[in-house]
Amino acid sequence: MSGSGAGRRVPLKCARTRSRMPIDEKTSKTLKDLGIKTPEAIGDLFAEVVAALDDERRALLARGAGNESERGRRVKELRDRWLARKGGLVALIDEHWLKKAAKDLKPAVGRAFNELRQRAKCVDTEGLLRDFPLQGAGAKQGDLAFAAATPAAPGADASVKTRPDLTLPGFRRTLGSVHPVTQVMREIEDIFLGLGFAIESGPEIESVYYNFDALNIPESHPARDDWDTIYVNPETLLRTHTSPVQIRAMEKHGAPLYIICPGKAYRHDNPDSTHATMFHQVEGLAVDTDITFADLKGTLDYFARKFFGDKIKTNFSPSFFPFTEPSGELAISCVFCGGKGCRVCKESGWVEVMGCGMVHPEVLRHGGIDPERYSGWAFGLGVERFAMMKYDINDIQLFQQSDIRFLEQF
């Protein structure tokens, strides 16, 4: 019995010895030296480290500084104590606890160490300088914000939580910038607004009639398969292009009519570097008496030169679209090689950028306009495609990934 009792007392004595050991001494030893053998003990050990980190930060902020030089020196001392690459406590924990941990304990140590590294960001130089008060003012607004988001360590001094100093400057939030797709869309809109066009918008959840039937794409038409998308019900779907806005505008305003229709569109394309299930379009429509294909060519040639530069050349080639007759495609001289031939333009010197054509008489009839009196032309372009060419971007998916490293370039 006495031997059994002694066996229980020895671990207790070791635990007490560890608890009295300074944090600096603990980080210089391995887990084996400290007698750490279970995930639970690892959690307790890292909890001690976090408590020490919080206590030292609070003590620094509560102490304050009389001038900028003293403040900078104290901030550097605390930052280097914890975050220095050589000799910092976090680096020592990595070297002695994580790298030398037993195989069965490594996952628990790794998780706890990652949490500690995130927590240790509170003593980086920028954060401390922002929160560190001058003139010995004690813990102020920055420390209160930190304390509100951080559980108080056992035995922490409650007097640190004083009333905030309203004379301190507020926290500045970094301002974002306009998304590159939005920038390009606005630039396109400005060009056509300067030509006298108006901007029209319409619903993204559209009826089958406006999305297909009114645009001369009946259910039996083979082109309809290419534009099938997500259906809400048999008569409602996410629009596959912004062309339905043209029908709605003709019904609403009649002729003459000069509009552009910017907005989102949805397709069943498989996502890759040049395709996305959601993208942005700008479509244009001009309806008036005596409108010809020459007007279309002149307008789009002007637009291409205005957007890509005066050196751009344009080329029109025949194509097919159910809602225009005749139909064409506009190509521009490659903006990357100047028309000499490169990988982007597949050595042709030309890059196709949009479809266009004279509005089909059936489409005018569905819009309530007499095709015997009026004629019109239309075009449609992908905004992401124009943005990729303008900014030399090789993957359309970058626009939707919200990667700040990509977006802050614009």
Does residue 150 sit in the same domain as residue 194?
no
pLDDT at residue 228 is higher than 80: no
Task: Look at residue 169 and tell me if it is in a domain.
Answer: no
Q: Does residue 126 or residue 377 have the better pLDDT?
A: 377
Q: Are 93 and 87 in contact (CB under 8 A)?
A: no
Q: Say if residue 350 is in the same domain as residue 266.
A: yes
Summarize pLDDT for 359-407 with one digit per residue, the tens: 999 999 999 999 999 999 999 999 999 999 988 888 898 998 888 888 8
- In tens, the pLDDT along 40-58 reads 889 889 999 998 888 888 8
Indicate if 24 and 144 belong to the same structural domain: yes
Higher-confidence position of 142 and 370 = 370
| Cα dist from 103 to 35, 39, 46, 334, whole Å | 15, 12, 18, 58
Instruction: Tell me: do 46 and 149 sit in the same domain.
Output: yes
Does any domain span residue 140?
Answer: yes
End-of-domain residue from the set 108, 132, 160: 160
The DSSP 8-state label assigned to residue 339 in this structure reads T
Residues 38 and 85 grouped into a single domain = yes
Q: Residue 170 domain-assigned?
A: no
Same domain, 367 and 221: yes
What domain range includes position 216? 180-407
The answer to whether position 166 is within a domain reads no
Is the distance from CB of 304 to CB of 312 less than 8 angstroms? Answer: yes
In this structure, what DSSP letter does residue 65 have? Answer: B
For 149-181, write each residue's pLDDT tens digit: 444 444 444 444 466 777 777 777 777 788 999
- Give the separation between CA 65 and CA 134, rounded to whole angstroms: 5
- Calculate mean pLDDT across residues 241-262: 95
Regarding whether 280 and 237 lie in a shared domain, the answer is yes
Position 327: which residue type?
A: S
Judge if pTM exceeds 0.75. Answer: no
Q: Which of 160, 189, 224 is the last residue of a domain?
A: 160
126 vs 295 pLDDT, higher one: 295
Considering the domain architecture, whether residues 156 and 190 belong to the same structural domain is answered as no
Euclidean distance between CA atoms 181 and 179, whole angstroms: 5
Tell me, what amino acid is at 224?
R
Domain assignment present for residue 22? The answer is yes
Torsional sign, CA 182, 183, 189, 192: negative
pLDDT, averaged across the chain? 83
Average pLDDT over every residue of 216-245: 82
Number of folded domains in the chain?
Answer: 2
Same domain assignment for residues 144 and 194: no
**CATH code for position 250:** 3.30.930.10
Is residue 192 a part of any domain in this protein?
yes
Report the pLDDT averaged over residues 308-335.
92
